[in-house]
Amino acid sequence: MDLEASFTRCFDGLAAIDGGTTTPGTGWNRFAWTEEDLAARAWFRAEAALLDLSVSDDRNGNLWAWWGWPAPAAVVTGSHLDTVPAGGAFDGALGLVSALVAVAALRHRGVRPRRPLAVVAFADEEGARFNTPTFGSRLLTGSLDPATVLARRDGDGVTISEAVTQADVDPLELGADPEALARIGVFVELHVEQGRGLADLDAPVALATGIWPHGRWRLTLDGAANHAGTTGLADRRDPMLVAAAAVEAARAAARTNDAIATVGRLRVEPNSANAIPSRVDAWLDARAPDAERLDRLVATWRRAVEDAAAEHGVEVAVEGESRTAGADFDGGLRERMGATLQREGIGYAELPTGAGHDAGILSAHVPAGMLFVRNPTGVSHSPFERAEISDCVTGVRALAAVLEDLLCA
């Protein structure tokens, strides 16, 4: 079987579903429950059918393609189909394509599994549309209460409840799914590396050691709209000044705590060049090596924002929209995966990551591990994210070897 040809055909099929952004360098836009997302889900079903895998949806909109009958203690691999705005082609997609090609390779070689295998496409991992990252895996495991998020709206005013309904998912059925969770005996996710860890190392793949704790916080700043050309500086209640302070405070708090923080999204009302804003909504994304430093970072940032708001006569509210605990991947599974890669002659490194993944959510419930494929630039969440085809093929080989070991031992 020609792994490179199989990978290229499969990868190009998913990459063609880009939300209409066909201009080079403008990125991919596949947001949860949109037409583009539904097209990607149809692509997944079609690719699974080519492998004679049976596909089903669970109550939370996650897609499962089964090799063998769905049963407890299955080997599960996969990732996600959705992207961030103007995202890269590899984030999530690489894991699903690699999983499908790995299964094809195992079947081509006549491997006879002793336990079932599933390739899963988790719903709304990025949380780009509703600020609900790892939506499908958190609902599955019961770590997200659907009642707390169903009324959240996207930029067009559509609620999560309305969006999932349009995608033929019943919002009243969302929630913990112990039956589906019990089918996962072990979970392995392959993902493009989203940093520079492998770029400077002589290794095409890595085993993930763990994920930093992280979360998102929404900042709402209410001031007073007024004329930009006639309102004196002393008479202004300008929430944009506080937003600017929030951006700087995030960087300062991150630096102090050896962590990472970003204010990457703003929504301004009335959003006019010649008007002082009446309101600014901003979102903080913060990640740290441990929970204590994450808490300290957010508390320091919040105090700085509240001080700036008091100085400028602006009302301030901070709401935590998501919080994900750090994850240490199963040590025994990681050792087993490492031994498998060594037997296959595949060089690898071991790395932690600050990026969140469905594997991190599952790691609190089942043995879970991750493989990273080298990203030569370290750029991610960008149309310039990439991986060399030779490294992608090595990733497929690595994943196939790990899956075969888990399926047949």
What are the pLDDT digits (tens) for 325-358?
Answer: 888 999 999 999 999 999 999 999 999 888 889 9
| Joined tokens for residue 48 | 């699974």
* Rounded-to-integer distance, Cα 47 and Cα 153, Å: 32
Interhelix angle 93-108/3-15, rounded to 10 degrees, is 140
The separation between CA 252 and the C-alpha centre of its own chain, rounded to angstroms, equals: 26
- Residue 199, token pair as written in the block: 């770029």
Looking at the structure of the chain, the number of domains it has is: 2
Q: What is the pLDDT of residues 117-130, one digit of tens each?
A: 999 999 999 999 99
Looking only at the bridges linking them, the beta strands covering 279-287 and 260-269 are antiparallel
Q: Which residues does residue 64 pair with via DSSP β-bridges, in sequence order?
A: 56, 120
Q: Which residues face 203 on adjacent strands?
A: none
Residues 263 and 339 in one domain: no
Same domain, 262 and 191: no
77 & 124 share domain: yes
Residues 346 and 227 in one domain: no
pTM, two decimal places: 0.85
Same domain, 170 and 53: yes
- Per DSSP, 153 falls in state B
**Domain hosting residue 180, numbered range:** 3-212+326-408
Do 307 and 375 reside in the same domain of the chain? no
Indicate if 261 and 207 belong to the same structural domain: no
Residue 279's DSSP bridge partners are: 222, 269
For residues 56-84, average pLDDT: 96
Task: Please state, rounded to an integer, the average pLDDT across all residues of the chain.
Answer: 95
Q: Clarify whether residues 340 and 354 are in a common domain.
A: yes
For residues 220 and 304, state if they share a domain: yes
Q: What is the CATH number of the domain that holds 33?
A: 3.40.630.10
Q: Which of 277, 298, 324 is the last residue of a domain?
A: 324
The two tokens of residue 302 are 């919040």
Beta strand 74-80 pairing with 184-192: parallel
State yes or no: pLDDT of 106 exceeds 90: yes
How many CA atoms, within 13 angstroms, populate the side-chain half-sphere of residue 392?
A: 25
Q: Per-residue pLDDT for 23 more than 90?
A: no
Show which of 298, 324, 350 is a domain's final residue.
Answer: 324
List the CATH number of the domain containing 231.
Answer: 3.30.70.360
Shared domain for 336 and 188, answered yes or no, is yes
AA identity, residue 379: V
Q: pLDDT-derived band of residue 19, with 50, 70 and 90 as boundaries? A: low
Could you give the CA distance from residue 102 to residue 312 in angstroms, rounded to a whole number?
Answer: 58
Give the model's pLDDT for residue 326: 87
Provide the pLDDT confidence category of residue 18 given band limits of 50, 70 and 90.
confident
Same domain, 320 and 337: no
Q: What are phi and psi of 238, to 5 degrees?
A: -100, 105
Q: Return all residues near 148 (Cβ < 8 A) that are at least 6 apart.
A: none
The residue from 324, 351, 366 where one domain ends is 324
CA pair distance 336, 406, nearest whole angstrom: 9
- Does residue 219 share a domain with residue 113? no
**Do residues 288 and 213 lie in contact, with contact meaning Cβ atoms separated by under 8 Å?**
yes
| Residues 136 and 121 sit within 8 Å (Cβ to Cβ) | no
